[in-house]
């Protein structure tokens, strides 16, 4: 549970998303009502409540299905905005739809639709991180809002827990190495722990290279080729999900124990 949330799974409330409605409890009974309406934002976007709800529902379905296909892998903002821009030209509408989807995920599913700011470092120098230039792009990932003990008990399965354990180790190694490490050095550390990059049938992780690739896709680490004193080399460095303040603190606390 150290990485801040199990992966969501589709379940029956998908029906309410499909019809663009929210469930609220009143007097112990469940009733269907429309989602929260921000009148000012709607007037700025110049769309009806029905149109807005339909867009939000489509966006939420897209997030759920993408997460089901590729658990934990962030969804790019461009993919979400295309849901809106394919039929609408209002400039503010994608932002408003995303904000409303975030509210609905929290109220219906108990998920945080967390925004990530993706940074891509330059390929100039291995040792001088301060000289890196970055281009940033936003993406979104679903995280359970359940307390950790309930998340571990009811949400996480064996396979995801094992991958989280490997993620913990890899991110911990990178943190101890200053956030950036040559690929060969990372594998040296992992081999000492019984994890070999050439092993395709590891008893816990299966194909080890694919497991590391999954951690990369989930944006805990990122891989790139850089120019160093000895020529070009491949390095791994911490990505946006690993430098999250809460996650980083928990890993550092575990390392110090």
DSSP 124-159: S-SS-GGG---EEEEEEEEEE-S-HHHHHHHT--HH
* CATH number of residue 171's parent domain: 1.10.10.1210
Q: What is the total count of domains within the chain?
A: 2
Tell me, yes or no, whether 207 and 128 share the same domain: no
**What is the arithmetic mean of pLDDT over 38-44?**
51
Which of 8-12, 128-132, 218-222, 247-251 has the largest mean confidence? 218-222
Tell me, yes or no, whether 69 and 140 share the same domain: yes
* pLDDT over 70 (residue 82): yes
Tell me, yes or no, whether 144 and 107 share the same domain: yes
> What Rg do the C-alpha atoms of the chain give, in angstroms?
21
Give the whole-angstrom CA distance, residue 238 versus residue 142: 20
- Give the pLDDT of residue 219: 93
CA angle 219, 73, 215 (to 5 degrees): 50
Q: Give me the domain span that covers residue 218.
A: 157-257
Tell me, yes or no, whether 134 and 20 share the same domain: yes
Kindly state the percentage of the chain with pLDDT values over 90: 44
What is the maximum alpha-carbon separation in the chain? 70
Reported as a single tens digit per residue, the pLDDT across 179-200 is 999 999 999 999 999 999 888 8
Tell me, yes or no, whether 96 and 133 share the same domain: yes
The neighbouring-strand residues paired with 136 are 119
Give the whole-angstrom CA distance, residue 178 versus residue 183: 14
Neighbours of 250 (CB within 10 A): 16
* pLDDT over 50 (residue 61): yes
Higher pLDDT among residues 12 and 206, named by residue: 206
> Where does a domain end: 126, 156, 186?
156
């Amino acid at each position: 549970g150290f990485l801040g949330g199990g992966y969501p799974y589709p379940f029956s409330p998908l029906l309410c998303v499909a019809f663009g409605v929210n469930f609220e409890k009143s007097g112990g009974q469940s009733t269907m009502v429309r989602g929260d309406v921000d009148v000012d934002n709607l007037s700025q976007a110049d769309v009806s409540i029905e149109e807005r709800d339909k867009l939000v529902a489509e966006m939420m379905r897209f997030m759920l299905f993408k997460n089901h296909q590729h658990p934990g892998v962030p969804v790019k903002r461009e993919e979400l905005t295309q849901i809106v821009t394919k039929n609408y030209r209002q400039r503010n509408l994608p932002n408003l739809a995303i904000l409303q989807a975030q509210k609905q995920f929290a109220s219906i599913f108990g998920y945080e639709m967390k925004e990530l700011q993706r940074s891509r470092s330059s390929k100039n120098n291995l040792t001088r991180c301060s000289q890196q230039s970055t281009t940033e792009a936003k993406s979104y990932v679903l995280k359970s809002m359940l307390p950790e003990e309930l998340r571990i008990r009811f949400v996480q399965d064996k396979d995801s827990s094992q991958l989280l354990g490997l993620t913990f180790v890899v991110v911990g190694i990178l943190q101890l190495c200053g956030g950036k490490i040559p690929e060969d050095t990372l594998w040296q550390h992992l081999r000492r722990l019984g994890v070999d990059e050439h092993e395709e049938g590891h008893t816990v992780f299966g194909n080890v290279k694919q497991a590391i690739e999954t951690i990369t896709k989930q944006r805990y680490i990122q891989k790139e080729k850089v120019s160093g004193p000895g020529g070009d080399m491949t390095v791994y460095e911490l990505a946006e999900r690993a430098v999250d303040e809460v996650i980083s603190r928990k890993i550092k606390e575990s390392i110090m124990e």
